[in-house]
Structure 1
C-alpha cells in the first residue's frame, strides 16, 4: 500500500472516531469522564454521584483524577450547602 493511501485511511478513521464521540448522549459522556475522574477516589460511589450531577449541569468534567478544575469553571464553582466544593 502506498503511504498516501495509508494517510487517507487514517484520516478517514480519525474523522469517523471524532464524529462518534460527538454523537454520544450526555449521560454516556458524563459516565465515561466521571469514571476517569473518580478512578482513584476513596469513596467511588459518592464521587460518581456528585461528578455525574455536576457534569449533567455543567456539561463538562475536568481532565485527570484530581485538580484541573479551571478547565470547567461551572464545575469548579459549585459549592455544597456548607460552602465546600460540591464537585469532586
Structure 2
C-alpha cells in the first residue's frame, strides 16, 4: 500500500522535509516511488507541492499520514481531491 509521508532532510536542528509517495512498510528515509513536494517548517511553514501528481496518487488509493493530510488541507489540495472524487 502506498503512503504519502514526510522524509527528513537538512542538517541538525535545521529540518527540511520532502513529501514522498512510498510503500507503507519501508523506512522513513527509504526509497520513494515519487517525490511530490517540500516542507520548510522553519521558514514560516513554507510548503511547495506538485498538486496534480498528489491528486493522482490519492485517486489511485495512496493514504496520507496525519501530518501530510493537515499540510494538504492548509494548501487546498485536499479540497481538490474531494472535488475530483465526487466527479
Report the TM-score range of the alignment, normalised by the length of the smaller protein. under 0.3
Of Structure 1 and Structure 2, which has the larger fraction of its residues in helix? 1
The higher-RCO structure (CA 8 Å, 6+ apart) is 2
Give the TM-score of the pair, scaled to structure 2: 0.25
